[in-house]
Amino acid sequence: MSIRDDLQSVERRIAQACARAGRRRDEVTLVAVSKTKPAEMIDEAIAAGVTEVGENRVQEARDKKPLVRGRARWHLIGHLQSNKAKDAVRLFDVIQTIDGTDLAEKVARAAASAGKVQEVLIEVNIGNEPQKSGAAPADAGALADSVRKLDALRLRGLMAIPPAEGARRSFGELRALRDRLGLEDLSMGTTDDFETAIEEGATIIRVGRAIFGERG
């Protein structure tokens, strides 16, 4: 199957999940996760209708983005090292992985220097898993308050990678946290669980394998 065919299949699944949840399709933004995939495949996806592209690594995006001819909004969905804040601001329209005040301040300084208001999401370690990055759920409110005070950042919402077990419960917990903080967006759900995420309120889903195939 082609990327176009795979994308159409994903779109059907999104529409069906939205229908089950009583939601409109335009309430959910699809980010096509292109990590490890070449620029040619990203261009093929954009030609098929993709408007948002996700990358895990600043270095990979720095090497690949200049080779992509199609126009899309770029999301950083992997952990951001603070020493790469300047490059991240230059390369990405949305940084989904703000996980602490120090990182937020460095991104804000880079954005201010670039004359840009950087869209960001706070990454929450919703399962409190030691091997994962992200702010603890108990700390997310204080971090959101700090980010909101930074003029060069626009806080859109929360992002999480839930534990493999109990994803639906984790999605619900993230949605409740988002609601308590008065934020708009919920970035949650991947190839394995994006339909459940939509049913639980995701406004952004991050889908790679179902569009681009297995990673090489």
CATH number of the domain where residue 90 is located: 3.20.20.10
Predicted local distance difference test score (pLDDT) of residue 109: 98
| Sequence-ordered list of residues with C-beta below 8 angstroms from that of 89, at least 6 positions apart, any chain | 95, 107, 110, 111, 114, 116, 118
**Total domains, the chain:** 1
Per-residue pLDDT, 1: 76
What backbone phi and psi angles, to 5 degrees, belong to 145?
-60, -40
Stated pTM of the model:
0.97
Q: Give me the mean pLDDT over the 52-81 stretch.
A: 97
Q: Which two three-digit tokens encode residue 177?
A: 């946290």
Q: Give the model's pLDDT for residue 99.
A: 97
pLDDT at position 214 is 83
Give the pLDDT mean for 33-61.
97
* Range 25-35 average pLDDT: 97
Expressed as residue numbers, the domain containing 59 is 3-212
Tens digits of per-residue pLDDT, 183-215? 999 999 999 999 999 999 999 999 999 999 986
* 216, pLDDT greater than 70: no
pLDDT at res. 18: 98
Coil vs helix vs strand at 15: helix
Q: What pLDDT is recorded for position 164? A: 83
Start-to-end Cα distance in the chain: 17
- What's the pLDDT tens digit per position in 113-165? 999 999 999 999 999 899 999 999 999 999 999 999 999 999 999 999 999 88
User: What DSSP letter does each residue of 80-138 carry, written as one string?
Assistant: --GGGHHHHHHH-SEEEEE-SHHHHHHHHHHHHHTT--EEEEEEB-TT--TTS-SB-GG
Is the per-residue pLDDT at 112 higher than 80?
A: yes
Radius of gyration in angstroms for the set of CA atoms belonging to the chain, rounded to a whole number:
16
